[in-house]
Amino acid sequence: MANPRIRALTWWRKWAKRDWAIAAVGFTIILFALTLLFDSRNPDLNSTDDLIPLTLLRRAKATGAFCLDGSLPAYHFQKGFGSGSNNWVLHIEGGGWCNSIESCNDRKRTALGSSNYMDQLVEFSGILSGHPSQNPDFYNWNKVKIRYCDGASFAGHPESQFKNGTKLFFRGQLIWEAIMDEVLSLGLSNAKEALLSGCSAGGLATLIHCDDFRDHLPKDATVKCLADAGFFLDEPDILGNRTMRAFYHDVVQLQGTAKSLHKNCVGRMEPSKCFFPQEIVKNVRTPLFIVNPAYDFWQIQHILVPDASDPHGYWSRCRLNIQKCNSSQIETLQGFRNSLLKALSELQQRKEVGMFINSCFIHCQTLMAETWHSPNSPRINDKEQTIAESVGDWYFNRKVSKQIDCPYPCNPTCYNMDFTRSL
């Protein structure tokens, strides 16, 4: 029988070939595969105590806050203890977006569009771990994992729903508001310290809703936001086409996300451009931390080298394993890294902003014990700090934490994904 991790990655590749817009549905599969891999290397990190049950948002029905298929939104909650009893970390799940009726219909038959398909128990690890050895600064905080089931980074609006018999609910903004009401009632309203985080599309949602999160909490609370692998670039692909811009345009038009974006931005430019983090962060008042690999495999495979841009397969192995890239391809990847650093340049000047930009071929690093905080976690420039320690230094103002790695292949501490194993 084939290795389940390989089967998972092969499944994702098939989705990508059929329709890259929904290929990100496989993000959950990839994250699961990564977790399996890391856990197999660290069996002592596992504990049944970290399996947290799913809670349906029952009160959401009254406000019409539904997943794509009309099911109730959901979350997982673990109560804090000791010194962390009044502190909160919320993490928004990732998983791409849907940009058409077809792709949203496909998505609603998965855990990324319906709570009917969500696992009843999920492991809390990385930034959600309850173990001080894995999560030194936030282990005893109240922890919430927000499940993602709307396909538009919690920014869709029902006014955009079709009335032609297609049963799709674009209620992302209502889900966000219902989740906030629920968690505030659980004790978030009395928070002393709080951190909103998210990975991938959840990282984008974190940037979109960061200031709103801040506005819901006590004025004297310390409130900050962390976006992991959510800084998606508005860059042309290798053929010069603006593939990601066109895709975001379709998402914004389909789900009516402009109403969730900053008015100053949508008043100045086409709303889909305001869906890109580089524009969003210009208006965010709350302190931010950006965790991003300079060679984010999702962005390389879907923004820089989407399938349609490589009909002859010249990039086929490079886009699956950075170690298979030739010198010309590496030069192109270095240009993509330079674009990321340029997009982050304004943030680098802001004192309240932290960042950890490593030179790894990976996507999302805060939810897994090995990449968040372990003896094998990635470091930058021979420093001893893990991502967790850098985030902790920034959150608690222990010291300025803006770390940017040297270009690939300089960092031996990286874990670089290798998708060629699935071929």
* 139 half-sphere exposure, CB direction, 13 A CA radius: 15
pLDDT at 159: 84
- Is pLDDT at 39 greater than 80 in this prediction? no
DSSP for residue 120: S
What is the per-residue pLDDT across 351-361, written as a single tens digit (0 to 9) for each? 999 999 999 99
pLDDT at 11: 32
Q: What is the C-alpha separation between 225 and 416, in angstroms, rounded?
A: 26
339 in Cβ contact with 300 (< 8 Å): no
Torsion region of 140: left, alpha or beta (phi above 0 gives left; psi -120 to 50 gives alpha):
alpha
Q: What is the C-alpha separation between 8 and 29, in angstroms, rounded?
A: 6
pLDDT at 367: 96
Banded pLDDT at 383 (limits 50, 70, 90): confident
> pTM of the full predicted structure?
0.91
User: For the chain, what is the radius of gyration of the CA atoms?
Assistant: 20
Q: What is the C-alpha separation between 358 and 410, in angstroms, rounded?
A: 10
Q: Which helix (H) or strand (E) holds 244?
A: helix 243-255
pLDDT at 145: 98
pLDDT at 293: 98
Stretch 24-48: mean pLDDT:
46
Burial (CB count <10 Å: 0-12, 13-18, 19+), residue 116: middle
Stretch 118-141: mean pLDDT:
97
Number of structural domains the chain divides into: 1
The pair of three-digit structure tokens given for residue 137, joined into one six-digit string: 């600064």
Please report, for the domain that includes residue 191, its CATH number.
Answer: 3.40.50.1820
Catalytic residue among 71, 129, 197, 200: 200
Banded pLDDT at 81 (limits 50, 70, 90): very high
Stretch 129-156: mean pLDDT:
98
Residue 200 known to be catalytic: yes
pLDDT at 28: 45
Banded pLDDT at 88 (limits 50, 70, 90): very high
231 in Cβ contact with 277 (< 8 Å): yes
Stretch 251-262: mean pLDDT:
96
pLDDT at 327: 98
Q: Which of 150-164, 186-200, 222-236 has the lowest mean pLDDT?
A: 150-164
Range list of H helices, 142-200: 172-186
Pairing of strands 222-228, 193-199: parallel
Banded pLDDT at 164 (limits 50, 70, 90): low
List the Cα angle 277/281/286 in 5-degree steps: 135
Torsion region of 151: left, alpha or beta (phi above 0 gives left; psi -120 to 50 gives alpha):
left
Residue 160 known to be catalytic: no
Sheet holding 222-228, edge to edge: 121-123, 51-56, 74-78, 142-146, 87-92, 193-199, 222-228, 288-293, 354-358, 402-404
Banded pLDDT at 44 (limits 50, 70, 90): very low
C-alpha dihedral over 329, 330, 335, 340, to 10 degrees?
120
Catalytic residue among 69, 137, 296, 307: 296
Residue with tokens 């038959």: 109
Residue 71 known to be catalytic: no
Which range of residues forms the domain containing residue 309? 4-422
Residue with tokens 């934490």: 401
367 in Cβ contact with 127 (< 8 Å): yes
* Bridge partners for 74 per DSSP: 56
Overall residue count recorded for the chain in this entry: 423
Q: Which of 100-104, 227-231, 419-423 has the lowest mean pLDDT?
A: 419-423
What is the per-residue pLDDT across 283-331, written as a single tens digit (0 to 9) for each? 999 999 999 999 999 999 999 999 999 999 999 999 999 999 999 999 9
Backbone angles phi, psi at 218, to 5 degrees: -55, 145
Q: What is the C-alpha separation between 166 and 180, in angstroms, rounded?
A: 28
DSSP 4-37: HHHHHHHHHHHHHHH-HHHHGGGHHHHHHHHHHH
Cis bond before residue 236 (omega within 30° of 0): no
- Is pLDDT at 267 greater than 60 in this prediction? yes
